[in-house]
Amino acid sequence: MALEWLFVISLTLAPIYAFASGGLQIAHIVMGLYCLGRLVSVRPAFGAPETALSFLCVVIIIREWTATNFGYGSGSGLMEFLYVAFGLLILLCVRTSDLNRLAGAAAWGVWGGAIVALVGVAATDGLSIRGVSIDRAIGTFNNPNQLAYFALLNSCLAMVLWLSGHMRTLTTIVLHVMMAILSMVALSKAGLIAQMAVSAIFLWYIVSKYSSNHWGTIVVLLSGAGVVLAVAAGFFDQFLFVQRLASTGSEADDGFLSRGYAVWLDGSWTSFLFGLGQEGVLLKFGHEVHSTFASFFGKYGAIGGTLFLSFVGGWFHRTKSNFGWTGIGLTFLPVALYGLTHNGSRFMLFWVLVALVGSLKAAHGSVRCYPLRVGQRSLAHNRIGDGALPGGGGGGSLGHERLL
């Protein structure tokens, strides 16, 4: 039970950035304690994604060590190893957890983090989404993109918990609306587009679930057409997020090349195979590669980038196996959209999401999650093994099958 509370506290404190970006935060320390407790009692289970990340860790160490010892690196690039290793640790520990307890803990943690983030923004920046000047909210984060990414990941985590039967529909809707508001005040174009994808698929899914399959598509198409007409008529002109989206394509950093997608291709064969290293990218490009996917190609070349794409393929496969195309649309697709123009691999909640969506039906064989299909009327539910109680029979509040 104590370990699950550490998981709750970590997710709740995720919005609080007490130190500089890229370094250790309070939530990371608490999550590390949770993982340490898991490793003491359970042997880690490696699958294909975990194996790919393990090899990627080796590639990172070799590349950054080489850069440091041959005089064109200070050793700070080894932080990249810690980011990936920490994510790998989360995947391994979640896969071996009591899933009922952990999903219950995640439900409380997702709500705790949502409240902390919302209160932080309300207290520091306000929650106004209308105005003339575009002032991006930060809240308790260090920059608005972190706020937007948190809002997106928290929405996706809520969707995973909803699909697995650990969060009620109304509760999920309320939380998603809260996160959508945070996306609107953060004014990240990538965050807004990804959050809109979650909203559209979620709306289609709910409407389809309680009616014939075609109604979901009809409602979403009509809603989309209505929004387009309203925008064309100027109805949303005073909304800051609409003004922000309207600038898409007009800024210097909107293109893939300006985000650093090709930095690893403009060099020798060694940079093509092994990349430039973290500091090498900064020296050549001026800043890091702004992409979850392309960043590993830039820093660690074709070898490192391919290993990361192998991990992504495993993430996709597990999501599809556990939750079908609905899970892909509600969790994988939005995060992938955001990752096209931002490096989200360092965010703790990213790894928590990947771990939960890939593990919900496999914890000790006691829980099997049945994803909803379009047209079904019942929520996703868990089947508990014969004689077993949700949460392993602990009876505590974290062990209930559907908490919220």
Closest residue by Cα to residue 308 from 289, 330, 292, 327: 292
| Inter-axis angle of helices 99-124 and 169-186, nearest 10 | 40
Q: What is the DSSP letter of 104?
A: H
326: which 2 tokens?
């609905």
CA distance 388 to 390: 7
∠ CA 380-384-388 to the nearest 5 degrees?
155
DSSP 285-296: HSS----TTHHH
| Per-residue pLDDT tens listing for the chain (404 residues) | 678 999 999 999 999 999 988 889 999 999 999 999 998 877 777 899 999 999 999 999 999 888 777 766 667 778 899 999 999 999 999 988 888 899 999 999 999 999 999 999 999 877 776 655 567 889 999 999 999 999 999 999 999 999 998 898 899 999 999 999 999 999 889 999 999 999 999 988 887 776 665 666 676 677 777 777 766 666 666 667 676 766 666 666 667 777 878 887 877 888 889 888 888 888 787 778 889 999 999 999 999 999 999 999 999 999 999 998 999 999 999 999 999 999 999 999 999 999 999 988 632 333 333 333 333 333 333 332 333 323 333 334 444 344 45
Q: Which residue has the tokens 């997702």?
A: 110
| Inter-axis angle of helices 348-359 and 79-95, nearest 10 | 30
CA distance 206 to 203: 5
